[in-house]
Chain A
């Protein structure tokens, strides 16, 4: 018997993905222990992708997520931070600390302005892509649960204690946060996302 639910994870975007990799890896281990299988979506221009990030536009990422859903048979999406911009569709969505496109882009421009490189924290992004990201609206899926940190003033179904690892210069780990997130996601899938 395989797992009943297949989770597709959409990571935070750009540098934030590196900073949260351990947090998400720990969550996946904990979910697996609950017989929930999870796969991380690989977006065009990131990770092992053969596409140059400099050529990527927002519809490429949306198509990448659709392809990952089809390939994995995902039944639920878990998105993090700017990954929420890509989680629209018919699947139930669990979000952690979703961030608006305009704020993601503002952050990227701020990092670029504070450094000496003409890339965005090492990512050579094209202007049209940044404009698309800036204008992107966070989707409103029919079945949605939003989790945020207790220090975050945004609207959420539940708030958890922890620190914003996606902003940490040195990648950190917060075991208690990973455990709280995995438990909330697991419970929500078992109780609510099943249909």
Chain B
């Protein structure tokens, strides 16, 4: 599931890492996170993801993927769905 990326010579499963961040940061159960697909809504749809939680979510994704996210890259579209968030992270790792 999802494309694989290499980081420090290590293959990174972006999809799995983002799911685990949602579990660890938002307190979403592992079972529920496993059911998320590309169209599953995040910001505005997931009550656990309020504006305070957005900051923690982004920082933890930065840490686990070794990327830096500029605040002007963060908008409603990027956080709209699980698919858009994963696509953003994949583009960051590729770029």
User: What is A's interface to B at a CB cutoff of 8 Å?
Assistant: 103, 106-107, 110-111, 113-115, 121, 151-153, 163-164, 167-170, 172
User: What is B's interface to A at a CB cutoff of 8 Å?
Assistant: 8, 20, 23-27, 48, 50-60, 63-64, 66, 71
For residue A55, give the distance in angstroms from its CB to the closest CB of chain B.
Answer: 25
Task: With A153-B63, A164-B60, A167-B56 as known contacts, state yes or no: A113 contacts B71, CB within 8 Å.
Answer: yes
Dominant secondary structure of chain B at its interface with chain A? helix
Task: With A168-B24, A168-B27 as known contacts, state yes or no: A107 contacts B55, CB within 8 Å.
Answer: yes
Query: What is the total of A-B residue contacts with beta carbons within 8 Å?
Result: 53
A-B contact pairs, 14 of them (CB 8 A): A107-B56, A110-B59, A110-B71, A114-B51, A115-B51, A151-B20, A153-B64, A163-B24, A164-B60, A167-B56, A169-B25, A169-B26, A169-B50, A172-B27
A113 cross-chain contacts in B, Cβ below 8 A = 71
Closest B residue to A113 by beta carbon equals B71
Determine whether the beta carbon of A121 is less than 8 Å from that of B52: yes
Determine whether the beta carbon of A111 is less than 8 Å from that of B25: no
B58 cross-chain contacts in A, Cβ below 8 A = 110
Query: When chains A and B are docked, how far (Å) is the Cα of A121 from the Cα of B53?
Result: 11
**Leading 8 A-B pairs by shortest Cβ distance:** A167-B56, A163-B24, A110-B55, A111-B55, A114-B51, A169-B53, A114-B54, A167-B25
Determine whether the beta carbon of B25 is less than 8 Å from that of A114: no
Determine whether the beta carbon of A107 is less than 8 Å from that of B59: yes
For residue A168, give the distance in angstroms from its CB to the closest CB of chain B.
Answer: 6
Determine whether the beta carbon of B48 is less than 8 Å from that of A169: yes
Which one of A103, A163, A167 has the greatest number of beta carbons of chain B within 10 Å? A167
Within the complex, which residue of A103, A106, A151, A169 is in contact with B64, where a contact is CB–CB below 8 Å? A151
Query: When chains A and B are docked, how far (Å) is the Cα of A151 from the Cα of B52?
Result: 22
